[in-house]
Amino acid sequence: MTAAVIEETGPPSVLRTATVPVPRRSGSEFIVRVVAAGVNPIDAKTRAGGGVSAALPGFPAVLGNDFSGVVVRSPYEAHPLQPGTEVYGVVPVPRYSGAYAEYIAVPSLSVARKPPTLSHVEAAGVPVAALAAWGMVVELAKAHDGQRMLIHAGGGGVGHFAVQFAKYFGAHVTATGSTRNLEWLRELGASVAIDYTTTRFDEVVGEVDVVIDLVGNVHDDTGSRSLRVLRRGGLIVNAPTGSWPTVLDEAEAAGVRATTYTVAPDGDTLSTITRLLESGDVKVFVDDVFDLDRVSEAHTLLEDGHTRGKLVVKIADS
Could you report the per-residue pLDDT of 197-225, keeping only the tens digit for each?
A: 999 999 999 999 999 999 999 988 999 99
**Cβ-based neighbour number of residue 22 at 10 Å:** 14
Instruction: Give domain limits for the chain.
Output: 2-126+284-314, 129-260
Residue 165: name the closest of 176, 182, 149, 184 by CA: 149
Average pLDDT for 42-59: 96
Confidence label for 306 from pLDDT (cuts 50, 70 and 90) = confident
**In whole numbers, what is the pLDDT of the chain averaged over residues?**
97
Q: Please answer whether residues 1 and 77 qualify as being in contact, where contact means their C-beta atoms are separated by less than 8 angstroms.
A: no
Domain boundaries 2-126+284-314, CATH class: alpha beta
Q: Please answer whether residues 234 and 211 qualify as being in contact, where contact means their C-beta atoms are separated by less than 8 angstroms.
A: yes
Domain boundaries 129-260, CATH class: alpha beta
Taking the C-alpha atoms of 81, 84, 86 and 91 in order, what is their torsion angle to the nearest 10 degrees?
70
Distance of CA 89 to the CA centre of its chain: 11
Can you tell me the distance from the alpha carbon of 218 to that of 193, in angstroms, rounded to the nearest whole number? Answer: 21
Average pLDDT for 83-95: 97
- Tell me what percent of the residues of the chain surpass a pLDDT of 70: 100
